[in-house]
A = this chain, B = another copy of it.
Amino acid sequence: MQLQEGKDKFIQTWGTLGSHWGVNRTMAQVHALLLIAPEALSADEIMEDLQISRGNANMNIRALIDWGLVYKELKQGERKEFFIAEKDMWKVFRQIIIQRKKKELEPVLRVLEEISKVEGETNQAKEFKNIIGDIHLFASKANQALDNVTQSDSNWFVNTFINMLKK
């Protein structure tokens, strides 16, 4: 396989993966492109490479920066902004977990707490509170486990993985 073909395939695959996980395809593709770029790219280069519009490129680059997956880089004597991806996969994973936990898991936890206070002592109500309680317990555990994972350093997590594999 030629280098260019490999790069294209990677960009496609990463894009598809993203789209199955609630990340828009272009955002994942820009990320992929920057991951395999040997050096920082400008918005124009990204537009050119992925054949997307300026607006689209800009929006998705900003989103990646917000997620902490891409950094801005200013080049000596250049007025343009250049962009570079975080290449430490552990950090990438960590950032994604932090973002999604905050945006998706935590709001669900709050709703579960709220609805676990429904009135009534009928069987219906009791059963409802039961299952909501179960879900809440599970979600809290997941939340705390994820906190742990993201708060500890890379080695801790790698060690956990290694331990898991040894079992």
Contact = CB atoms under 8 A, between A and B. Distances in A.
Interface of A: 1-3, 5-7, 9-10, 13, 17, 19-22, 35-36, 38, 87, 89-90, 93, 100, 103-104, 107-108, 111-112, 114-115, 117-120, 122-125, 127-128, 131-132, 134-135, 137-138, 141-142, 144-145, 148-149, 152, 158, 160-161, 164-165, 167
Contact of A120 (B3, B13, B17): B3
**Stoichiometry, copies per complex:** 2
A164 B144 contact: yes
Contacts of A111: 9-10, 13
Contacts of A124: 3, 38
A144 B166 CA distance: 10
A164 B145 contact: yes
Contact of A89 (B3, B38, B134): B134
Q: 9 closest Cβ contacts across the A-B interface?
A: A89-B138, A6-B118, A6-B115, A20-B22, A13-B111, A148-B164, A141-B161, A145-B164, A1-B118
A165 to B, nearest CB: 5
Contact of A22 (B22, B115, B165): B22
12 contacts: A2-B120, A3-B118, A3-B120, A3-B124, A3-B128, A10-B115, A21-B104, A36-B127, A38-B127, A87-B131, A144-B161, A145-B160
Contacts of A164: 144-145, 148-149
